Amino acid sequence: MSSPSAPRLTGVQWLVCVIAAIGFAFDIYELLMLPLIIKPAVAALSEPIILQLIKDGTTRPDAMKLWLPGGTEYVAWARTLFFVPALVGGIFGLWGGWLTDRLGRRRVLTFSILLYAFGAFAAGFVTSLSQLLVCRCFVFVGVCVEFVAAVAWLAELFPIHHQREKVLGWTQAFSSLGGLMVAGMNIMAGKLASELPEIAGGHEAWRYTLISGVIPALPLLLIRPFLPESPEWQKKKDAGTLKRPSIAELFSPALCKTTIVTTLIFAASYGLALGAIQQLPSIIGARALGSPAESGQKEIIAAAKAKVGEPGGKNAKTGKPEYTPKQKMEAGNESDAVVAGVTLWQELGGLLGRALLAILAIRIVSRRNLFRIFQIPSLFVVPALFVWIGSALQTDSLMMIKIGIFVAGVLVVGQFSFWGNYIPLVFPVHLRGTGESFAANIGGRVIGTAAAYLTITFSESATPDPARIAYVGACVAAAYAVVGTILTGMLPEPNLGDESAH
């Protein structure tokens, strides 16, 4: 990360980069966890409710399909779990950005990582969907605050332009390692679940995946005393020249255009991911043997059946094979592992996209042109990919889906790294955390995450239909992408000098 025009990084600066990289990695680790675990989690946590209703005679056994992807009950909880934590995270994240400007970058960064690690650990032990919702809210609040504090911290610790761009670009590239890690962890949990300690009376892979989110808190507890505060922020505070942050100032004549445009384009980037790409596990997954949504899932179901063996008998009423609860759990774990393998390809693409952004950020002067390298292709590639996936589900095309999602990952995830490099340059020091937080949390976490809400809502159907989810996701992603592409022409070009912005 050194250059001829910049001094080599000191040991403390490397330590800062390591902690920021860990934080960025586990931000994405937590955000990408829900699409991987939502289907098995909803199935497991809703099963006691359904069994009790059947026992009471208030519902029929075929009501189970309402909890499969696309079913009414599944849709209600899926959109709640996607959108409510994002809304809570956006609101509290905005407040966290304000605290970052008031209390300092380091202190808020530390607290935010500990907060989402606690929420992730607790989520593994929930016994109801409501408890899972509360834990995910804690996770999102921590994630939303951490991103803002880390970006402001890094931007001010490295005031030399080329060095700052490299540090921000490469530390954010670790976000995609977070995606690779959560996919790998889900695969490992699916394979090893039966050998791990029992939780809530079972060995379900999704619980162990959730608990793994506690990992980033462990090195932080040891390294925290050695981390420096932002020298730029500390200097102004000590001199008594640090202005009080104000959300209202973001809409002053000098900053109003910057605030609105960055917020909406940030939302467009998130809309591409949440509206389409992050729905892929629900589109291709099969939770248990004999699921009605088996079209296009031959590879997954074959792996599940190979894992658990032959059924114990047949249902007396339907004549269909009947598996034991343990067999269904093991089949679900195997299914989760196969679906996570597809997510792995997405994050490999994302890692390449972030690396390309880190390289191009110091070579392309215009921030608009840099962003368009990723944005314009994604406008066509992502919607087209999901239209194709909707039709390809009827065939054995899992390998082609992996290749397609790899390309989509390059284009969309590369956009996420752009914002970490861009936003610190367009807000003054006393508003840097507040401005970043508004764009990232109100734009990305609230308006952007609403894309998941739209896709899940409009794909609801009486019979679970993965193809319908894919088609709706393509339309939602296209709408967000068009808005973002139009507004990019209004994106302010920041001052890229070696001095800090403003």
**314-329 residue pLDDT tens:** 555 555 555 555 555 5
Contacts of 462 (CB under 8 A, 6+ apart): none
pTM over 0.95: no
**Does 2 reside within a domain?**
no
Q: Which amino acid appears at position 92 of this protein? A: F
Provide the pLDDT for residue 421: 77
Domain coverage including residue 462: 11-223+231-488
Q: How many residues does the chain have?
A: 502
pLDDT-derived band at 237, boundaries 50, 70, 90 = confident
Residue by residue, what is the 3-state secondary structure of 168-199? HHHHHHHHHHHHHHHHHHHHHHHHHHHHCCCE
Instruction: Give percent of the chain with pLDDT exceeding 70.
Output: 79
**Does 6 reside within a domain?**
no
**Does 74 reside within a domain?**
yes
pLDDT tens column, 372-389: 999 999 999 999 999 998
Element (H, E) at 477: helix 466-488
CA angle 138, 440, 432 (to 5 degrees): 105
Beta bridge partners, 202, equal: 199
Average pLDDT for 419-436: 82
150 three-class SS: helix
Residue 308 has pLDDT above 70, yes or no: no
Residue 497 has pLDDT above 60, yes or no: no
Total domains, the chain? 1
**Does 4 reside within a domain?**
no
Mean pLDDT, all residues of the chain: 79
Average pLDDT for 202-217: 85
Provide the pLDDT for residue 291: 42
Provide the pLDDT for residue 225: 66
**Does 289 reside within a domain?**
yes
CATH of the domain at 299: 1.20.1250.20
Provide the pLDDT for residue 483: 95
**Does 302 reside within a domain?**
yes
**Does 497 reside within a domain?**
no
**Does 502 reside within a domain?**
no
